A = this chain, B = another copy of it.
């Protein structure tokens, strides 16, 4: 596999894509970023071979947009004439309805194929310095094709497997955003709310795995996540309401010393995990 790749935005995901392309494929990788330090670091470690320009966008086989949602849209708007009809444009945004609508419209205007995607990988760290070639090992690559032709989807999927992804699912922007509100956004909201307890700063010596796991992603990039939350606010609000209701039920059972009710609620949790085989 020897293709021309352009990565726009060398943060955690963009940087990891660049490193994975460099380590696992023969592709040529050009990087674009407004931060000179990120470009320098990516060049220095060989994650990209050059700083990308309009010529690279024009000759690219795949362009990965790895900025925040609105910044991705703005970038494509600002470079609309630079994309050729042979360049596949994709993104890695954590929400899809707004991004896919805007980028699909721009791809029609610019005459190039666009296919939305969301690599289900990340850490609580961010920036190029946290990026790793093996970030995607075994992860799920979600494709949100909208109007992308089948061969475009297939190329992106095969490329993802080359980078280490372990599975791929295909869905609509709306279904994606509803699922992600639960699987990803809710745990981040939860982690932040959890560590706000006055007890948190004194946890050392009194904590173990369950503290560590639920609090991990409270180390959040609040600017990016606020944008992701608000772009998906109907679905996330609904998930937060569901969680608040279920948590209030547990709270009532505890406060009312109702053992049967409490056991029944906790049992639900266990049975769901058992049904999932987890």
Contacts and interface: CB of A to CB of B under 8 A. Distances in A.
A237 B254 contact: yes
A179 B206 contact: yes
B268 A196 contact: yes
Given A226-B262, A266-B225, A120 B189 contact: no
Contacts of A278: 215, 219
* Chain copies in the assembled complex: 2
A247 B240 contact: yes
Interface in A173-193: 176, 178-184, 186-193
Nearest to A229: B254
Interface in A223-260: 223, 225-227, 229-230, 233, 236-237, 239-244, 246-251, 254-255, 257, 259
A227 B259 CA distance: 8
Nearest to A119: B208
A272 B95 CA distance: 26
B208 A236 contact: no
Contact of A206 (B120, B190, B215): B120
A209 interface: yes
Contact of A248 (B195, B197, B229, B244): B244
Give 7 closest A-B pairs by Cβ, nearest first. A192-B269, A169-B205, A222-B266, A187-B210, A218-B269, A182-B199, A213-B213
